[in-house]
C-alpha cells in the first residue's frame, strides 16, 4: 500500500514542481524586465546632458513632419475659404426672362453631374452690389438694372474633373448663356499642389523617422561599446543575448517615448504661436476661414510610434554589437 501510494503521489509532486519552476521563470523574467526598465532610466538620468541632447535632436526631427502636416491641412482649409467651392456660375444673356431662366435651370438640374441649381435674379445681384463698399453711389445713378439672371450649379459629390469640364463646355455652347464662370483650373492646380504636399510630408516623415532610428542606434552602440567588458563577462557566465540586450532595448524605448512627447509639445506650441495671427486672418474672412489643429489621436500616437522606433533602433544595433562581442 505504501509503495502504491507513493507511486500515485509521484506524478502529482512532479507536476507541482514543474508548475513552481514555470512560475519562477515567469517571475524572474518579469522581474528582469522591471529591473531593465528602471536601470536604463537611471542611466539616462545619470548623464542628463547627453540624454537631453539625444532626446532634443529626435524630438525636433519628429516635430518637423507634424508642423508640415499642420501647415498642409490649413492650406487646404484656406483654399476652401478662398473659393474652392465647386459652384459654377452661369450668366445668362441680358434679354433672358424669368420663365426662360427657370426652364434652363430645370434642364441643367436634370443632368447627372448637377446636384442643385439656384436661380439668382437681377434684383438679388443688385442688392449684393449695394452692400459692397464703393458701389452704393454708382448704383443710385443707374436708370435700370443691367444685371442678368445667374444660375449657380452645384455639382454632385464625387464627380470627376473630366465630367465637370464636359459640363462647363456644354453649358457654354447654349445660346441663352453669355458667360460661364468656373474655377475648375484653379481647383485642379490646388489639388495637384496638395497632392504634392501630401507626398512631401510622407517622404519627409519617413526620412526623419529613419534619422531618429539612427540617432537611437548610435547612442545605444556607444553605450554598449563603453560596457563591452561587462557584457563579455555576462556572456562568459552563460547569459543569453535577450538577457544582455534587454536594458538597451528599454533605453531605446525611453529615448523614443520622451522625444515623441517633446515632438507633440512642440507641435502644440506651434499651434499656440499661430493662434493670434490666424484669428485675425479668420476675422478678415468674416469667420469663414476655419483653421484646424492636429487631431488629438495623432498627438497621442506620436510618442508611441517614437517609442517603437527607439526600440527598433536599439534592437538592431544591440543584436549587431552582441554578435560581434560573441
* Model confidence pLDDT, tens digit, residues 125-159: 777 766 665 555 555 555 666 788 899 888 887 67
Domain edges within the chain: 33-81+190-325, 88-182
- Kindly give the interhelix angle for 241-284 and 296-325, rounded to the nearest 10 degrees: 150
Nearest partner of 184 among 211, 165, 212, judged by Cα: 165
Q: How confident is the model at residue 4 (pLDDT cuts 50, 70, 90)?
A: very low
- Tell me the angle at which helices 184-226 and 48-81 cross, rounded to the nearest 10 degrees: 170
Mean pLDDT is lowest, of 12-21, 22-31, 180-189, 228-237, for 12-21
**pLDDT tens, 176-225?**
998 888 766 666 777 777 778 778 888 888 888 888 888 888 888 887 77
Residue 83 has pLDDT above 90, yes or no: no
Buried b (16+ CB within 10 A) or exposed e, 97-111: eeeebeebbeebeeb
User: In 3-state terms, what secondary structure has residue 36?
Assistant: helix
Report the alpha-carbon distance of residue 122 to residue 118 in Å, rounded: 13
Neighbour tally for 207: CB within 10 Å:
13
pLDDT at 265: 94
CA–CA gap between residue 277 and residue 275 (Å, rounded): 6
* Four-way CATH pick for 88-182: 1.10.630.10, 3.40.50.300, 3.30.70.20, 3.30.70.3040: 3.30.70.3040
- Average pLDDT value for residue range 8-35: 62
The larger pLDDT score, comparing residue 284 to residue 48, is at: 48
pLDDT at position 103 is: 92
Least confident of 113-117, 170-174, 232-236, 250-254: 232-236
Give phi and psi for 88, each to the nearest 5.
Answer: -110, 125
Residue 300 pLDDT level (bands cut at 50, 70, 90): very high
- Three-state SS at 170: helix
Query: What torsion, rounded to 10 degrees, do the Cα atoms 211, 214, 220, 223 define?
Result: -90
Alpha-helical runs (H) found in 157-295 = 161-172, 184-226, 228-236, 241-284
What are all long-range contacts of 200-207, with beta carbons under 8 Å and residues at least 24 apart? 200/68, 201/65, 201/68, 201/69, 201/72, 204/64, 204/65, 204/68, 205/65
pLDDT higher than threshold 70 for residue 5: no
Mean pLDDT of the chain: 78
pLDDT of residue 163: 82
DSSP string, 279-300: HHHHHHTTT--------HHHHH
Work out the average pLDDT over 29-44.
83
Please check the confidence at residue 19 and state whether its pLDDT lies above 70.
no
Per-residue confidence at 7, pLDDT binned at 50, 70, 90? very low
pLDDT at 324: 67
pLDDT of residue 258: 94
Q: Is 85 a residue whose pLDDT tops 90?
A: no
Amino acid at each position: 500500500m505504501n509503495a502504491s501510494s507513493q507511486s500515485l503521489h509521484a506524478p502529482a509532486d512532479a507536476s507541482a514542481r514543474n508548475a513552481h519552476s514555470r512560475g519562477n521563470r515567469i517571475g524572474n523574467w518579469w522581474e528582469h524586465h522591471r529591473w531593465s526598465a528602471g536601470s536604463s532610466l537611471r542611466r539616462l538620468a545619470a548623464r542628463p546632458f547627453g540624454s537631453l541632447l539625444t532626446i532634443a535632436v529626435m524630438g525636433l526631427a519628429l516635430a518637423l513632419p507634424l508642423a508640415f502636416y499642420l501647415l498642409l491641412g490649413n492650406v487646404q482649409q484656406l483654399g476652401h475659404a478662398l473659393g474652392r467651392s465647386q459652384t459654377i456660375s452661369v450668366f445668362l444673356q441680358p434679354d433672358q426672362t424669368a420663365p426662360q431662366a427657370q426652364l434652363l435651370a430645370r434642364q441643367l438640374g436634370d443632368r447627372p453631374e448637377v446636384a442643385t441649381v439656384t436661380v439668382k435674379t437681377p434684383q438679388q445681384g443688385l442688392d449684393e452690389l449695394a452692400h459692397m463698399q464703393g458701389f452704393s453711389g454708382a448704383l443710385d445713378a443707374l436708370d435700370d438694372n443691367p444685371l442678368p439672371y445667374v444660375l449657380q450649379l452645384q455639382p454632385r459629390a464625387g464627380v470627376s474633373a473630366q465630367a465637370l469640364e464636359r459640363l462647363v463646355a456644354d453649358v457654354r455652347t447654349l445660346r441663352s448663356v453669355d458667360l460661364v464662370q468656373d474655377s475648375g483650373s484653379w481647383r485642379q492646380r490646388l489639388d495637384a499642389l496638395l497632392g504634392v504636399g501630401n507626398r512631401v510630408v510622407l517622404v519627409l516623415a519617413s526620412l526623419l523617422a529613419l534619422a531618429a532610428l539612427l540617432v537611437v542606434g548610435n547612442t545605444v552602440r556607444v553605450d554598449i561599446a563603453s560596457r563591452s567588458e561587462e557584457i563579455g563577462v555576462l556572456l562568459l557566465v552563460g547569459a543569453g543575448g535577450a538577457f544582455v540586450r534587454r536594458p538597451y532595448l528599454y533605453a531605446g524605448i525611453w529615448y523614443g517615448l520622451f522625444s515623441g512627447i517633446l515632438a507633440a509639445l512642440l507641435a502644440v506650441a506651434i499651434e499656440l504661436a499661430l493662434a493670434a495671427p490666424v484669428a485675425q486672418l479668420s476675422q478678415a474672412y468674416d469667420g469663414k476661414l476655419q483653421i484646424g489643429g492636429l487631431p488629438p489621436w495623432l498627438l497621442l500616437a506620436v510618442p508611441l510610434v517614437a517609442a517603437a522606433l527607439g526600440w527598433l533602433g536599439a534592437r538592431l544595433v544591440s543584436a549587431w554589437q552582441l554578435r560581434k562581442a560573441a
